[in-house]
Every structure is written in C-alpha cells, then in structure tokens.
C-alpha cells in the first residue's frame, strides 16, 4: 500500500522513517490512546517539581531560623544571608526542574522550561511586590537574582533530567 507520502508500506502498518518530514503522517502523539492521562501526567510532573522547590525552600528557611543562622521573622538579614538563600534556592530550582523532566511523559526539556517559565513569572511578581518594601524583603539584588536564575536553573535541571532519562529510563 502506498502512504499519503507516496511510500510503500504494509496496509495498516506504522509510518516508516521515510514517511517523516512530508507533513502527511500523523505524529505518534496524536495517536496516543489516553491523551487526557498524558495531560494529567504532564501537569503532575510540573506540580511535583514546583512542590519540591516550595517545600525545600520553606523548610530550609524554617530550619535556618530555628537554628539561629537566620534571624527571627521580622528582623533584617545581612547580604551574606541573602546570598546563602539565593544559593540554596538556585539548587532547589535545578532539582525541581530535574524532577519535572524525569516525570514528564514526553518532551522532558519542554516541561522543565515550562516550569521555569512559571518560576520566572512568580519571581517577577515577587520582585515587583517587594520592591522598596523595606529591609525585611532584602536588598534589591535578591529578587533580581531570583528572576535572573529562573530559566538557567530550569534549563540545567531539564538537561540533567534528559541525560538521566537517556542513561536510565524512568519507569511508567
């Protein structure tokens, strides 16, 4: 049987490599038997990465306050402590993007970057709402650092997730 791309293949058989690129063959994504399930898995991957970042960030903040490394709530922190917070939040953002990429049902890098875009948007909102609100919200460089690192962290975590999937595929 000839396909719509003019290539011989068995009747009802899957598209061949020679079919690709001619715009005539449906992509495998369109033939997915459970598209709503894929969407839920995509949203779950994004949510898992986001929750990981939030829980680790808040948990570390609380732990550092409880141990006396950070001052109590309502007291200003030094630039060095904000640098520490930037460092661990950067690591957590990479970890969140890694988790998102590992759990993504398809296109792990796109999922990681989508999570990074959400992080970027939230960082911009945070910078705008805390700007000039006093020393409790830190120096101006702090929210700018969070904005500047959002996408590089997402890319790094996504690349690590893609690499890890290639080395050891996730079990679905």
3-state helix/strand/coil string of 36-98: HHHHHHHHHHHHHHHHHHHHHHHHHHHHHHHCCCCCCCCCCCCHHHHHHHHHHHHHHHHHHHH
Does residue 107 lie in a domain region? yes
- Whether 11 shows a pLDDT value over 60: the answer reads no
Do 115 and 54 form a contact (C-beta atoms < 8 A)? no
Residues 127, 76 share a domain: yes
pTM: 0.75
Is 120 in the same domain as 160? yes
Number of structural domains found in the chain: 2
Are both 2 and 66 inside the same structural domain? no
Is residue 89 scored above 70 in pLDDT? yes
Question: Do 96 and 158 sit in the same domain of this protein?
Answer: yes
Q: Give the pLDDT mean for 45-65.
A: 97
171 within domain boundaries:
no
| Structural domain that includes position 115 | 36-166
């Amino acid at each position: 049987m000839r396909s719509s791309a003019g290539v011989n293949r068995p009747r009802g058989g899957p598209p061949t490599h020679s079919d690709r690129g001619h715009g005539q063959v449906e992509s495998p994504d369109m033939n997915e038997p459970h598209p709503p399930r894929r969407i839920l898995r995509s949203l779950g991957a994004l949510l898992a990465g986001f929750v990981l970042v939030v829980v680790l960030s808040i948990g570390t903040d609380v732990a550092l306050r409880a141990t006396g490394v950070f001052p109590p709530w309502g007291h200003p922190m030094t630039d060095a402590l904000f640098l520490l917070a930037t460092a661990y939040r950067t690591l957590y953002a990479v970890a969140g993007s890694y988790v998102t990429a590992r759990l993504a049902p398809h296109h792990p890098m796109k999922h990681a970057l989508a999570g990074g875009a959400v992080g970027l948007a939230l960082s911009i909102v945070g910078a705008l709402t805390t700007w000039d609100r006093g020393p409790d919200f830190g120096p101006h460089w702090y929210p700018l650092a969070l904005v500047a690192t959002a996408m590089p962290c997402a890319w790094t975590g996504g690349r690590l997730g893609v690499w890890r999937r290639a080395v050891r595929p996730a079990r679905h």
